Each structure stands twice: as structure tokens, then as C-alpha cells.
A and B are shown apart, each in its own frame.
Chain A
Amino acid sequence: MGIVTRGFGGRRPDPGRPLPPGQFLTQDFPVLSAGPTPDVEVDRWELVVTTEHGHVRRWSWGELMATPAEDVVTDIHCVTRWSKHDTRWRGVSVDVLLGDVETTGEFVLVHSYGGYTTNLPLADLLDGQAWIAFEYEGEPLEPVHGGPARLLVPHLYFWKSAKWVRGFEIHDVDEPGFWETYGYHGYGDPWLEQRYA
């Protein structure tokens, strides 16, 4: 470590319970955007699931809203070293959305409005580990945080929780997403500190 700046960071709160290695607690919700915030109207919103065979399953906003949603309280961990405890979300489990999709593909490339992509194993979207979230702390999800709907995969670094989610492409092979192309880890487990490839 280089030069320490006396007193800098001294106002950060004590996490109270263990954080993943190299993480620091924040009470803010920092915004990290690699591009402009897209203006996504819910009446034109859709989530498109495409399988490795080219089969397509579409969900409209109305269909998403008509699907039973869950309240989720979880910690989130950004690769830029902030973590946030006990964030409250409401969303639809990805298990429900992929329930009737026939696939043997093992990898998903997540697409967003605005062009962002990120990749992760299909298994990490299933078994109660991932949601399409549309409320944060009891309010509709703000556009700057990914509204109207974002992916929430809190057990991985938060760049995998794609804002403005638009679709899942299921593949037999793992294709890198945006940050993964530029050196970030293909999986991104915060407890294993998988920041870079």
C-alpha cells in the first residue's frame, strides 16, 4: 500500500458483520453507469428469453406484473469495493420466468436496454438466486438504478445484476459480456474476490 491520507475514510460505518474481502460498507447507493440512462416505457418493455435453439419466450410488463412477486432483503457487493447491507427489493423470481423454457444450454448472456451485456451460468439465475426487480425500498425502481426493471443476482458482484434488463440469451458456450470482455471476471464471486479474470 502506498501513501495513506490521514483521516480519509474515517467516517465510514462499522459493518457489524463480515464483509467479502476487500469490501467497504456504504449507506449510499452509488450509481455506476457506462452510458446514458435509457428511457424505457413500461408499455413497450419486454423481457425476451432466447434459447440455444432459437426458441423465444416473451414477457410483457403486464405479464410480469401479473406474476407473483417476492420481497427480497439482501446484501449487495459492487466490484468497486462498496457493499450495502439489507437492501429491500421486490421482483419476480427468474425461476418463474424460465420455468417453461426448454434448454440444455448452461450459459446466459444478459442483454439490457442501452446495449449493456453481462454473462453468467444459467444455474446462477435459478433456485431462488435471481429476480427481475422492479421496486427498491418500497418505491418503483428509479431509472438511474435500472428501472423500470433490473436483474438482481446478489450473490455475484453487482455488475452482473444488469440494469434495464431486456433479455436472456441462453447458450451452450460462455460468451463474455461488456465488462467481462475488458478484464473483469467471468463469474464474479465476491467472497472469492473474483474481480478480474
Chain B
Amino acid sequence: MSASSQWHVATVVDAPRITRTARAVTLSVPGFSGALAGQHVDLRLTAADGYQAVRSYSLTAVGADERVDVLVDRVPGGEVSTYLVDDLRVGDQMEVRGPLGGYFVWRPDDAGAVLLVAGGSGLAPLLAMLRARRKIGSTAPFRLVYSVRTPDDVFFPDELDGGASDVEVALVFTRTTPARWPRPAARLGKDDLVAPGFDAADGPTVFVCGSTGFVETVAGLVTELGHDPARVRTERFGGA
């Protein structure tokens, strides 16, 4: 039995609210180690009467053992995300299984170009890749296209500010834009996915994460743009 298939006791050490609907939750998890950027964990919550629920959350940072960072966005009516966003406190306990998944993963020794496409809280595993790249000083070309409804929905805006790093970040607002924003509010389209160094001919690895509808749409667009489907890796979010 490998460590990643066992349930570990986890204690909340930090849980700041980062938008109106989301919190960044940090757990201390003895026995948890070796996570790669893009991997996820299963969280298991047990109620006092024995009721249990399990949900998957992507890691938003890797590299520190015995520590799990996730981002939880409230899904209306979702029993687990609602609890985590509205009721969770520092010191609370739950269980963690992982790290999990070896496919939707960026490895630090990969120097090739990477196109990241996030819809909403689909940013989470892509954030882990951006953070891992920065931490090890990788020069692999990265571009992030990040689709959100309104400026208030951007997670970690300071960290993603293009001026602060050599990663190009393209924000796509689908409902409301900031003042004087050059691109009108609209759903993500082919034009948003085209940029020198990250086109199909450049052969980047493409990571797409978001709701099922978002991922289906983007996977279709990048395929139409000529990207090799074998280089397109997707992760659809369930939720609740």
C-alpha cells in the first residue's frame, strides 16, 4: 500500500478568504510528501453522526512536504464546498489522500513551452505549475490564459500580475471588465489562445482546467487551432 492511497489526518493551519466565494486552505498533513505540480488530493470529511463525503481538490502549491494547499470555491448547494468556505476554522481536522494523478502534471525538468488555460477555480493546478516554475528558476516559456466572470473573481491578482514575472498572463473577462480594458467582456475564443511562441507550430504542452463545459470548449478550440491532441491535457472540475 503506497502512502498516496492512505488517508492521513489533516489539520487546518490557515484559511484566508481570497474572493467573495473562495478560500485558500492550508492543511498540515504528517505523512504527506512528494507532490508534483498539477496533482490533486482527495479530502474526506466526517460528520459527528458518521456521515462522510469525499471531494477532489487540486494542489495550488507543491514542494513543501507535510503541507497541502488547496483553493475552494463555493458551489451553490454543494455540501462540502459550502462547509469549507463558510464554516471551516483554523484547527479543524479532516482526512487527506494523495498526492494523486500523474498525467495532468508539469515536471520541473521539462524545458518546453507550456500554455495554461484556466476557467475560474480551474486556476488551482495551473497555479501550482507557475509557482513550481518560479521556485526552481525554470526558464521554460509559460503563458497563462485565465477566464473569469468579473475582476472580483480573479484569484491571487497580485501574484499573477504580469509585471512581477516573465510569464505572460492574459485575463479574459466574460461578464464585466475593469475600466478601460482593451478586450470587451466575452467568452473565451480562438483569438485569446493565439500568441507568439505558444501556437500550434511551437508545439507547447497545453494544460486546460475548469468546469466540464469550459474544458470541452477550450479543448475544441485548441484542436481547431492545430494543436496536437496528444499534447493537450485536460482536467474537468466536478465540485459540490
Contacts and interface: CB of A to CB of B under 8 A. Distances in A.
Interface of A: 1-12, 22, 24, 28, 81
Given A3-B94, A28-B77, A9 B47 contact: yes
A81 B89 CA distance: 26
B49 A3 contact: no
Given A8-B45, A8-B53, 5 more contacts: A5-B45, A5-B92, A9-B45, A12-B47, A81-B51
A2 B47 contact: no
Contact of A6 (B7, B9, B93, B95): B93
B49 A24 contact: yes
Given A10-B47, A24-B49, A5 B77 contact: no
Interface of B: 7, 9, 45-51, 53, 77, 79, 83, 87-89, 92-95
19 contacts: A1-B50, A2-B7, A2-B46, A3-B93, A3-B94, A3-B95, A4-B46, A5-B45, A5-B83, A7-B88, A8-B45, A8-B46, A9-B48, A9-B79, A9-B83, A10-B47, A10-B48, A10-B87, A24-B51
A22 B49 CA distance: 9
B67 to A, nearest CB: 18
A6 B49 contact: no
B111 to A, nearest CB: 40
Contacts of B94: 3, 5, 8
Contact of B49 (A2, A9, A11, A28): A9
A5 B49 contact: no
A8 B47 contact: yes
B112 to A, nearest CB: 35
A4 B93 contact: yes
Contacts of A2: 7, 46, 95
Which of B51, B77, B95 has the most chain A CB within a 10 Å cutoff?
A: B51
A33 B79 CA distance: 18
B72 to A, nearest CB: 13
A7 B92 contact: yes
A133 B88 CA distance: 41
Contacts of A5: 45-47, 83, 92-94
Contacts of B7: 2
A94 to B, nearest CB: 33
A158 B122 CA distance: 33
Contacts of A8: 45-47, 53, 83, 87, 94
A28 to B, nearest CB: 6
A82 to B, nearest CB: 9
B44 to A, nearest CB: 8
Nearest to A3: B93
B168 to A, nearest CB: 37
A6 B88 CA distance: 8
Task: Report, nearest first, the 5 A-B pairs whose CB atoms are least far apart.
Answer: A9-B47, A5-B45, A8-B45, A5-B94, A7-B87
